[in-house]
Chains A and B, each alone.
Chain A
Amino acid sequence: MGKSIIEKIWDRHIVNEEENKPDLIYIDLQYIHEVTSPQAFEGLRLKGRKVRRPDRTFATMDHNVPTVNRYFIEDDIARKQLEALEQNCKEFGIRLADLDSPDQGIVHVIGPELGLTQPGMTIVCGDSHTSTHGAFGSIAFGIGTSEVEHVLATQTLWQTKPKTLKLEVNGKLGHGVMAKDVILYVISKFGVDFGTGHIIEYCGEVFRDMSMEERMTVCNMSIEGGARAGLVAPDETTFSYLKGRKYLPKGEEFEQCVQDWKSLSSDEDAVYDQEIILDGSLISPMVSWGTNPGMASGVDGKVPTLAEDIMDPKELNRAIEYMGLEEGMPITEIPVQHVFIGSCTNSRIEDLRQAAGMIDGQTVQKGVRAMVVPGSQSVKRQAEDEGLDEIFKSAGFEWRESGCSMCLSMNPDVVPAGEHCASTSNRNFEGRQGAGARTHLVSPAMAAAAAIHGKFVDIRNLKRTEQVQ
């Protein structure tokens, strides 16, 4: 019986295997940020423990950095968290991309950008969207703070071998349908817990055709389907993205890495615990209407009705009430007052190009507040080199510094209660973007179109301009 790439990577990382115990697996790389690490470092200090491999640890500041006036952090406690991270990195010898660093940005944007994330690795971070890094053919998953401490101290974790799920999407995506729509479609079809206990391997033509940015968008949201991790086997797209990045070897040594990475694919006869096969040509641009990412519909669809009996009536009622919608309301009638283009799901250069491509000389609708928050300083620089910032600014979008921003609104960027926000982030939970805020998850192009029209529009009917370098 053949093996899947998931099992191959797993097996390569087993440090200890014993009956009645989970596997002790080696962690190649841990990312750290300010919100979920202070208690872990405190734990180390209390027990007099060291960081085993500072060279396999990399830190950044992202979750609560302001995206305007970034050095002026009004919130005392947020500032304390950033100071604690700086202090901890200094004390334990960990590299940190701080606010002054040209490399600073959202952890899941900068890791790949710097070439830290590599195929075949095991990667963890105290953040559930660590699944993003699976786009490179690595096993990457989010952990809690106790596990952060465990990895700092031992560079390992006790983990039961996950089940495997093959998710194959074949065919070609329609015009205007993007990676975000694919993953929202999958979650809306199978629910927010279909992947629990599994690692997903995304296979099929649709994912093969995707750029690295698009694969990251898909893998990022694996956790919204309950899967701790999701991955795409590495291929030429992966290798050419990685070539020349800061932390990768160069020349001959890089080619040797590529040779090794090429062995990372699933055997033809690999057996999975679950398999799902879908047709990509059936997917429409998606909009979430409810309070979890599974509550989403095509932009040409409607808010469900109780009579359709597709979900628990109590849950449906709660969601509709919170979102201020009505049963059976067409998605295109939902008003939009805020637009947020950013987050670890959709804040990379290609996302910004797609959003800018919708603008075509038009301006943001009156009464709509729209902002673009690049995922990293490097994305910001590149977008500015390409003139995207000017396209956004002259259309009336705010152009910000890099960070998590309105994805979870730990910094001052908040959506007021009762207002609707078209957001390229990954969670539409109650209160995520502010108490009472109503979040609708969409692709960057759909978000930009919503900013211009003040409501959701089917971008398949709109003109788009290609934004290429």
Chain B
Amino acid sequence: MEPITIYKGRAAALDRKNVDTDQIIPKQFLKRIERSGFGEFLFYNWRFDETGKKRPDFELNQPHNQNTSILIAGENFGCGSSREHAPWSLKDYGFDIIIAPSYADIFKSNCMKNGMVPIALTQTEVNYLMERVSAPDYELTIDLPNQTLKDGQGFETSFEIHPYWKEMLVKGWDEISITLQYDKEISAYESQKKAVSSI
């Protein structure tokens, strides 16, 4: 995983609540057996009409949202199915950072496993950013080690992230190799009485 420390980028606003993973990546694109190449299917049914033409009124198709790498959305983003294809498609499309008032649990953890940062801000802060992001020179800077977000025009806020996940993201670690160092503890757990016998 690529380490993330200071991140700068332009943002796109998707002012919708409860965006579910079926919308982020519809099921007809879940059949691939690779992790890559899902970006072209992101928000497929919202981005394209039945004939495959781009819908001009969909947020991400609008000119000011091109070349953005931060997505700002409404509350409970990523609810529904556990499909990790959702963060894979967001990342492959170009979004590394998501900002929303809240996230569904599984989606949030899936993001972090893929080197993406799901940042939770208050609804008021999210509204503030959504109103401004379409300006061409509007850029956000995220400082992950210090847990701050700035817009270079006077707006600055901080966000929460569990220290464990922060370290993973900042160092770009592979979680499994960390856990494998606990092999002794895992074996000890398996050999004790309170463990459920195998099935």
Contact = CB atoms under 8 A, between A and B. Distances in A.
B105 A156 contact: no
Given A24-B179, A146-B110, A228-B106, A429 B76 contact: no
A73 to B, nearest CB: 11
Interface residues of B, number: 53
A441 to B, nearest CB: 13
B175 A158 contact: yes
B194 interface: yes
Interface in B168-199: 175-176, 179-180, 182, 185-186, 189-190, 194-196, 198-199
A142 B164 contact: no
B81 interface: yes
A326 B31 CA distance: 36
B34 A39 contact: yes
Interface string A368-392: 0000000000000000000000000
Interface string B1-43: 0000000000000011110101100111011111100000000
B49 to A, nearest CB: 10
Contact of A39 (B33, B182, B189, B196): B33
B185 A15 contact: yes
B89 to A, nearest CB: 13
Given A20-B163, A145-B84, A197-B105, A39 B35 contact: yes
A64 B109 CA distance: 26
B45 interface: yes
A28 B196 contact: yes
Nearest to B35: A39
A49 B195 contact: no
Contact of A312 (B17, B33, B189): B17
A408 B176 CA distance: 31
Interface string B143-172: 000000000000000000011100000000
Given A77-B31, A142-B106, A410-B30, A196 B84 contact: no
Contacts of B176: 47, 49, 149-150, 153-154
A157 to B, nearest CB: 9
A16 interface: yes
A77 B37 CA distance: 14
Given A55-B198, A120-B196, A154 B30 contact: no
Contacts, number: 178
Given A75-B31, A84-B33, A154-B176, A196 B186 contact: no
Nearest to B103: A196
B102 interface: yes
A144 B162 CA distance: 19
B109 A128 contact: no
A208 interface: no
B113 interface: yes
Contacts of B30: 35, 410
Contacts of B83: 35-36, 144
Contacts of B76: 192-193, 196, 226
A144 B31 contact: no
Contact of B180 (A29, A75, A154): A154
Given A39-B34, A64-B31, A156-B179, A144 B84 contact: yes
Contact of A121 (B31, B84, B103, B196): B196
A146 B182 contact: no
A34 to B, nearest CB: 9
Interface stretch (A177-185, A272-280, A430-438, A448-456): A430-438
Contact of A29 (B82, B105, B199): B199
Bin the interface of chain A by size.
Answer: 35 or more
Nearest to B105: A228
A29 B27 CA distance: 26
A147 B194 CA distance: 24
A247 interface: yes
A435 B32 contact: no
A12 interface: yes
Given A39-B33, A143-B82, A150 B105 contact: no
Given A39-B34, A156-B179, A196-B76, A143 B106 contact: yes
Contact of B22 (A15, A56, A223, A427): A427
Contacts of B27: 408-410, 432
A427 B16 CA distance: 18
B9 to A, nearest CB: 23
A289 interface: no
Given A21-B164, A26-B186, A144-B113, A226 B79 contact: yes
Contact of B28 (A42, A80, A193, A410): A410
Contact of A431 (B22, B84, B104, B195): B22
Interface string A221-236: 0010010100000000
Contacts of A24: 179, 182, 185-186
Identify the interface centre among A78, A196, A409: most chain B CB within 10 Å of its CB: A196
Interface of A: 12, 15-16, 20-22, 24, 26, 28-29, 35-36, 38-39, 42, 47, 49, 52-53, 55-56, 58, 64, 75, 77-78, 80-81, 84, 116, 118, 120-121, 126-128, 141-147, 149-150, 153-156, 158, 160, 192-193, 196-197, 223, 226, 228, 247, 292, 312, 314-315, 318, 408-410, 417, 427, 429-432, 435
Interface of B: 15-18, 20, 22-23, 26-28, 30-35, 45, 50, 75-76, 79-84, 87, 102-106, 109-110, 113-114, 162-164, 175-176, 179-180, 182, 185-186, 189-190, 194-196, 198-199
9 contacts: A26-B195, A28-B195, A42-B35, A58-B199, A84-B33, A126-B82, A153-B180, A156-B179, A432-B27
Given A145-B110, A153-B176, 13 more contacts: A36-B82, A36-B84, A38-B33, A143-B82, A144-B109, A147-B113, A158-B164, A193-B76, A193-B102, A228-B106, A315-B18, A431-B45, A432-B22
10 tightest Cβ-Cβ pairs between the two chains A and B: A146-B113, A38-B33, A144-B110, A144-B84, A77-B31, A142-B82, A145-B84, A128-B82, A193-B76, A429-B22
